[in-house]
Homo-oligomer: A and B are copies of this chain.
Amino acid sequence: MAATAELLKIGDFARLAGTNLRTLRYYEEVGLIAPASRSGGGFRYYRRSDAHRVALIHDLQALGLALERIRELVRVHEAPVDRASFLSRVRAALCEHARLIDAKVSALEEQRGRVASALAKLGQCEGCVHSPTDGEEHCRPCARTGEPLPDLLSALF
């Protein structure tokens, strides 16, 4: 088949996968992804489709997982490799991935709300006569409302 012949050297594969040579070699070293084959001179040759695996690893890293944890998740081909346990491992990995994404998204939405509150309060500060840069007090609490500042503004003031 033509598909099996379509192998890429590490440079082209890195470009396709949106990464670099060092990272691919390191992933190989820690058992995350290996080239489909090697030339006699030691050149690594990758399948185009393996770029999806690299993308998955990147996505899981961005969710805060360590490479060892990722390796456990994506190693679905370990014994016993009967059809049922293989598919259930794939399902477990996908469910865990989904769980991580959902948790991260809701954490980010909370964060986003806090940033919005801070920006709203900052709008009031900009139209206010009190100066947060006088002395050490920085309008904590707000000299106009007497209320404490949003946590994020407090972090920056």
Chain A residues engaging chain B, CB cutoff 8 angstroms = 49, 52-53, 55-56, 59, 62, 64, 74, 76, 81-83, 86-87, 90-91, 93-95, 97-98, 101-102, 104-105, 108-109, 111-112, 115-116, 118-119, 122, 125-126, 131-133, 140, 151-157
Contacts and interface: CB of A to CB of B under 8 A. Distances in A.
Closest 10 CB pairs of A and B: A52-B155, A56-B155, A53-B155, A52-B151, A98-B115, A101-B112, A52-B154, A86-B133, A90-B156, A83-B131
**Secondary structure dominating the interface of A:** helix
List the number of copies, as a whole number: 2
A124 to B, nearest CB: 11
Contacts of A90: 122, 153, 156-157
Given A49-B140, A59-B111, A126-B87, A119 B102 contact: no
B101 A111 contact: yes
Nearest to A82: B133
